[in-house]
Amino acid sequence: MNFSHYFLQYPEHIQTQVQQLITSGKIEHYFKNKYPHAHQLQSEKSLYEYTNKLKQRYLKNAPNLNSVRYKKQSDLVKNALGTHTFKSHQHGGKLKAKHEIAIAEQLKNAPEALLKVLVVHELAHFKEKEHNKAFYQLCCHMAPEYHQLELDLRLFLVLQQLQLSFY
Ligand SMILES: [Zn+2]
C-alpha cells in the first residue's frame, strides 16, 4: 500500500521520515509508546460534552453548538475527517442558525489527543471559514501541538489501513 498521498502537503524531509516509519514497521511502536490509550468518548452525548467544554473555554462568544456526532466517512483523503456545517433557515419570521459538527467514525477508537485535533479544527471554523493563518493560530491556541498532532492523525489513518490499530 502506498500512503504518500496522505502527506503531500508536508515538506519533503517529513515525507521521507514518514515513509521510513511506515516501511520499517516502526510506526506501530511509535504509536504504542506515544499514545498508549484510546479515548472513552463512545457515545455522541459524551462527544458533544467534550466538544462543548472546549468551545466554552476558548470560544465563549461563539453561537450555540447544536450537535456533534460520529459519521461514516468513506474516503478519508478526499473527504475531510470532520465537517462543520452552518445551516440557517427561516423560523417563524426569524432567521435561525444551526451549527453541527461531524467527526469521522474512524476516530471512535483513536487516542484522545488525535480526536482533539479534529474537534479543535472544526471548532475553529466558528471563527474562520477558510484555512488561513488566523485559522491555524486559533487551532494552535486550543491545542498547542496542533501541527504535530495533525501529522500523527494522518499516521493513525495509515495504521488503520494497515489494520494495525491496537486500541
Ligand atoms: Zn477545515
CA of 56 to the centre of ligand 1 (A): 20
SS3 percent helix, strand, coil of the chain, rounded to 5, is 50, 15, 35
Calculate how far, in angstroms, residue 81's C-alpha sits from the geometric centre of ligand 1.
Answer: 9
Above 60 in pLDDT, residue 6? yes
pLDDT category, 45, cuts 50, 70, 90? Answer: very high
Q: Among 137, 72, 132, which Cα is nearest to 106's?
A: 72
State how far the Cα of 118 lies from the Cα of 79, in Å rounded to an integer: 13
Taking the alpha carbons at both ends of the chain, their separation in whole angstroms is: 22
Across 80-84, 92-96, 109-113, the highest mean pLDDT is recorded for 109-113
CA of 122 to the centre of ligand 1 (A): 6
pLDDT of residue 83: 78
pLDDT at 139: 96
Cα–Cα distance for residue pair 158/155, rounded to 1 Å? 5
**48: pLDDT strictly greater than 80:** yes
Q: Which residue has the higher pLDDT, 140 or 78?
A: 140
In this model, does residue 73 exceed pLDDT 80?
no
